[in-house]
Each structure stands twice: as structure tokens, then as C-alpha cells.
Amino acid sequence: MASKEVILPYLFLLIYTKKTAMKRILIALLLSFFHFTSFAAVILQYHHVSDTTPKSTSITPEQFEVHLQYLQDNKFNVLPLSEMIDGIKNQQALPDKAVVITFDDAYLDLLTQAKPLLDKFGFPYTIFVNPAVISRNDKKASSHYLSWQQLKAMADEGVIIANHGDEHDSLVRLPKGENQQQWLIKQAELLLKAEAIIKEKTGQSWQYFAYPYGEYDVAVQNWLKELDFVGFSQQSGAIGLTTDLTSIPRFPASMPYDKISSLRDKLNSLPLAVNLKGDQAETIFRHKEPKSITFSIESDDFYQAGLNCYISGLGKQKIIWHDDSSFTINFTKDLPVGRVRCNCTAASISKPGRYYWYSKPWFILKNDGTWYPL
């Protein structure tokens, strides 16, 4: 451990230097003195573990085992979801390289294919369930979903059972003739009903909610916060102490994103603290409406020239820096109709080989304001 006599001059220079490049170099030097815990967590999102289900929501059992073996061999800390959430709420650091494993929809192959492998490695995990769907299929011999009895047995073994909505309804696709306030009042009743059923059937009530289809907007985020739920989305990105608890990112890990070559950097990613103000935080627009976006960031651990942002369907975008903590992207083309992501990454100075990662989602409607197909 470095002495105070060595460290204090660096702290003094760090406080008083005004040159950004020098400040970043000093931060890297200072961090190199310590071996410390930090808050850099990643959540992996799966659906099916099977070689007979739709590829877009599936990973084969063989490749899933490759994922688990990679986590073990590379000394990742696979944690229960609750430990990660408690860390954010209490602003407490976690072991570095923390990973959480989640599954959406509670398919039967989680029991027959995934569970034996997870048990083999001793890794905790979470299942997001739709109570109405589970109940509707509970007694069917041909059901592709876990039953309440099976979920209760898994819960008793320590698996976290969480809320994915009573049905699998998008919270932002309003029925004709209903405004958002009316819709969210009904959805609040259904969300709390689903949580009550989960508690009745499994003994658990975490008030964790995964957005169906990953779709949400600012109004839904505020609605979820008022209900005291934690929200999980489907855009990629690492998680830190400043992560918004109403839109926690998860990396999809099913096909075609299941190769270790693409998963490696994601697992080692670091959280980029981003603040979106006003309309910049909105996610739903009509086609051709949004033309640019401005990000405010809090980090000195990367070089401005090393930040790269890519938008799905548009490719790499030009970054216009306003100062050390904000930049704008003027889109090279109109955002395409559908689910769109802007992924921004930058190499860390203090942790060579690791990248900061942030993703901004949009849900772009057709010109007439109608939704794209699910």
C-alpha cells in the first residue's frame, strides 16, 4: 500500500490542476496504487435454454454451459439480483466483475435445461414471470411454462422469482380510446395483483419488474417509481451506483449475441454515468421527429477521442463535444421505425482492456403514430 506521503501530492495536483489531460493521467496513477472494490455490475438476460425454440430468444444448452464456464474460469462474481439492487440503494460497492443472471417468461426449459447447469456451477439467478400466463397454463400437460409448484420449489432453493407483469402487455402501447393516465391506473392494479400472486405462490415479493418487450417511457418510469418498484429494461450497458432504478440495463445473451467473442467485452464493461435532461430522456417518437441527442456525462477515466457511439441502422455517429462533460450527436439519417439503440463505449484509462458502456433506447413509431409490430 502506498504511503500518505506518496499519495497526498497526487491528490493535491488532482484537485488543483485545470488541464483535463493531466487530470486524467493523475487519476489513472492514483487508482493504480490501490486494489479496491467498485460498483461495476452486468446483468445477462436470457429467455429459452433450448435448441428447439426460436433462435431470437434462445441459447442452446451447450452454449449456455460455455457462458457459465467462462464466468467461472475468469473469476466473475455471480451474485443474486437482490445483492446488486441493495448495493445501488445503499450506495455500497460490490466486488469487481459482478454479474447477475436473469430469465424472462419462466419457460419450462429453465427447469429441464438451465437449472442443472446453474446448480452445477452454484450460480444464483432470477426468473421474471407473468402470473396470469403461468396460472392459465398451470394444469396443462403440454404447457411450455413452469408451473407454480415448480416455481415454488425453485424459490425454496433460493431462486428469485420476480414480476414481468400479470400478462405480457407492453406498458406504452395504449388501447384505442384510452389515455395514458387511465391506462397506467389499470396497469398499477394489475402490477400489484401480479406481485400479490407471486408472494402467495412462492413466498417472495421483491418488487422487481422487467418491462415486457423492454418498452417504457418517462411517464412509465415515474409511475413505477411511485409504486416503489425497481424496473429492468432490455437495452445493453453496465450498471453503477448512479444507474436509474427505473431502467436498469441488461445485456441480451441469447442468439445471435451468445458467442463469447461478443460477450467478453460486455461482461467486463464499466458503467458510464449519463444524465439525459428534458426531452432527451424521452424514448418514444414518431418517425423523422428526433434529429439529435445531447448527453451529459460524469467521468474523467476515458479520453474524449476514444468515445464511440453507434446507432442501430445508422452506424457510427459523429460526436460533438461542448465541454468536458457534455456532447451532442446529430443523426446522420432519420432513426428507423422500430426499436433503436445508441450504444456508446470508451476505453478506460485506469482499467486497461475494459470499456465504459452506455445504451440509449428509442421506440420509433410510424409516421401516422401507430406502433410497429411486436
Both 29 and 159 in a single domain? no
Both 223 and 328 in a single domain? no
Full residue range of the structural domain in which residue 340 is found: 275-365
Q: How confident is the model at residue 6 (pLDDT cuts 50, 70, 90)?
A: very low
pLDDT at position 16 over 80: no
Does 373 map to a domain? no
Both 204 and 336 in a single domain? no
Reduced to 3 states, what is the DSSP secondary structure of residue 368? coil
Does 66 map to a domain? yes
- Cα distances (Å, whole numbers) of residue 58 to 91, 118, 275, 315: 34, 16, 33, 26
Q: Are 26 and 10 in contact (CB under 8 A)?
A: yes
Domain boundary among 244, 271, 298: 271
Domain boundary among 271, 292, 313: 271
Specify the residue for cell string 488541464: 19
pLDDT 10s digits, 167-214: 999 999 999 999 999 999 999 999 999 999 999 999 999 999 999 999
CATH number for the domain that contains residue 181: 3.20.20.370
Specify the residue for cell string 445501488: 88
CA–CA separation, 276 vs 18, rounded Å? Answer: 26
Q: What percent of the chain has pLDDT over 90?
A: 87
Least reliable range by pLDDT among 5-14, 102-111, 321-330, 345-354: 5-14
pLDDT at position 29 over 70: no
Total domains in the chain come to 3
Both 166 and 254 in a single domain? yes
Does 56 map to a domain? yes
Both 164 and 245 in a single domain? yes
Sheet holding 326-330, edge to edge: 274-275, 292-297, 326-330, 320-323
Does 371 map to a domain? no
Does 133 map to a domain? yes
CB atoms within 10 A of CB 137: 16
Both 172 and 66 in a single domain? yes
Does 118 map to a domain? yes
Cβ partners under 8 Å of residue 93, min gap 6? 36, 37, 38, 39, 87, 241
Domain boundary among 249, 271, 293: 271
Q: For residue 143, give the C-alpha cell.
A: 404447457
Over range 117-122, report the average pLDDT: 98
CB atoms within 10 A of CB 278: 8
Does 123 map to a domain? yes
Both 19 and 45 in a single domain? no
Both 320 and 283 in a single domain? yes
Both 207 and 342 in a single domain? no
CATH number for the domain that contains residue 300: 2.60.40.1220
Q: Are 302 and 350 in contact (CB under 8 A)?
A: no
Both 110 and 220 in a single domain? yes
